[in-house]
Amino acid sequence: STARSSEATGRRRRCANGAMGAVDAFCAARSDLAQDMSPPVAAIMALTAVIQESKAGTVMGLGDELRAAADELGAYTRENAGTESSIPVQSACDTMIKFVIRSSSELLAENSFDQVKSLLIQRSNRFADRLVSSRDRLASFGHKFIGDGKTVLVHGYSRAVVSVLRLAASKGRNFEVVVTEGRPDCSGYKLAQKLTECNIPAKIIMDTAIGFVMERVDMVLVGAEGLLESGGISNRVGTFPLALVAKAHKTPFYVAAESFKFTRVFPLSQKELGDMDVRSAAVKNRDLPLPDVPGVEAVRAAAAATDGPAQTLTVQNTLSDYTPPECITLLFTDLGVLTPAAVSDELIRMYQ
């Protein structure tokens, strides 16, 4: 956790050094801790600010400015987001730019470009509001699945999952949540703390104990970094084995994710998803923190040896894995409760 807070201050320091407009607006939106804005929503706010300040005179010019701003935001989040995936920010920016261009073409028929710009700002603000409320709408669809007296298994730290559980608890339902530790960054502890604040009983288990607890669990609920074209998801590593164990036990596996996480990516294997991951090399190649246990000296020695024969002792860190659609029961999104097959249908509708 100390690593994370110094990252956050580093982020704010870089913002203060006067980066470009979009990144400034992004940081400002993010540092509003009361809203607990997720990066994609902050990105939309930043793009709205870009439209406001834009001096472009044509739709094409505006589109170019927005695309440049989106690229800056993408690069910024890749370098600074730590282990959080930058897919949601990119998808949100893509959706927003598509929305702006489509709206502009419609509006230009009746209005001058300046009028179009002010109308666009209105619509973008409404779009941003819709995105901010998307987590609440998602929760309103998903909370009904958390029944009274049930046990829910959760993996990974997802604000969407927290909102579903929080809403279910507020409706007076009593349920228990089993939380995986989430090594090496142990985000499960942060999630358990959030649940305790909502008076939801939480039990933290080892990541490797999911097979052991599955028979006592009624459903599994995870978030997603990306909702993929195949109907599968990319999420924090460990989601795929969890989904397989749930499938073997015929336990429902639910995913809570906002619709702006839709991405037109169709991996055929875990390796393909890893290759598509555009997080910075520094993040991807970040070493697994080595525990202080017997045997670790051999790993340190192997890492330190620069010449000599190729090392036979290596350590691999993995950030995300791909869960195929066959393992997913339902997805709770702000568009409603969808089957994995419906994800592609939605994407086709959005991108046609």
Partner 1 sequence: DLDRPLKPMIQFLIQCRPHSITMGNAIKHVRHSITLLPPDISETDAKATLHETIDAYINANILLAQEEIVRHASGKIAEGDTILTFGRASAVEKVLLEARERGTFYKVVVVSCWPQNEGQQLVETLAAAGVECSFIAITSLSYMMGSVDKVMLGASALFSNGAVLGRCGTALVAMMAKTFNKPVLVCAETHKFSDRVQLDSICSNELGDPDRLVSCVCTPSSSATETGATKDGANSSCLCNWRSTSGLELLNLTYDLTPPDHVSLVVTEFGLLPASSVPAIIREKDSAAA
Residues that bind partner 1 (CB under 8 A): 229-231, 264, 266, 268-269, 272, 275, 325, 341, 344-345, 348-349, 352
Determine the Cα–Cα distance for residues 318 and 320; give it in Å rounded to an integer. Answer: 6
CB of 348 to partner 1, least distance (A): 5
Determine the Cα–Cα distance for residues 196 and 177; give it in Å rounded to an integer. Answer: 10
Write down the residue that tokens 């906002």 correspond to.
258
User: Closer to partner 1 at the Cβ: 206 or 248?
Assistant: 248
Helix (H) or strand (E) holding 264: none
CB of 338 to partner 1, least distance (A): 12
Q: Classify strands 226-228 and 219-222 as parallel, antiparallel or unpaired.
A: unpaired
CB of 343 to partner 1, least distance (A): 9
CB of 23 to partner 1, least distance (A): 31
Reference 165, options 211, 207, 215, 201; nearest CA is 201
CB of 268 to partner 1, least distance (A): 4
Q: How far is CA 101 from CA 50, 86, 107, 128, 261, in A?
A: 14, 23, 10, 16, 20
Reference 51, options 134, 130, 119; nearest CA is 119
**In sequence order, which residues have a C-beta less than 8 Å from that of residue 119 and are 6 or more positions away?**
103, 107, 111
CB of 95 to partner 1, least distance (A): 16
CB of 323 to partner 1, least distance (A): 14
**In sequence order, which residues have a C-beta less than 8 Å from that of residue 12 and are 6 or more positions away?**
27, 31
- Phi and psi of 124, rounded to 5°? -65, -40
Edge to edge, the sheet with strand 151-155 lists: 202-205, 176-180, 151-155, 219-222, 253-256, 330-333, 336-338
User: Closer to partner 1 at the Cβ: 136 or 275?
Assistant: 275
User: Closer to partner 1 at the Cβ: 101 or 350?
Assistant: 350
CB of 341 to partner 1, least distance (A): 4
CB of 267 to partner 1, least distance (A): 10
Write down the residue that tokens 């993408």 correspond to.
74
User: Closer to partner 1 at the Cβ: 268 or 298?
Assistant: 268
- Count of positions (residues) in the chain: 352
User: Closer to partner 1 at the Cβ: 48 or 259?
Assistant: 259
Q: Which residues pair with 219 in a beta bridge?
A: 152
User: Closer to partner 1 at the Cβ: 64 or 272?
Assistant: 272
Angle between helices 159-170 and 134-142 (to 10 degrees): 50
User: Closer to partner 1 at the Cβ: 13 or 349?
Assistant: 349
User: Closer to partner 1 at the Cβ: 79 or 229?
Assistant: 229
User: Closer to partner 1 at the Cβ: 164 or 265?
Assistant: 265
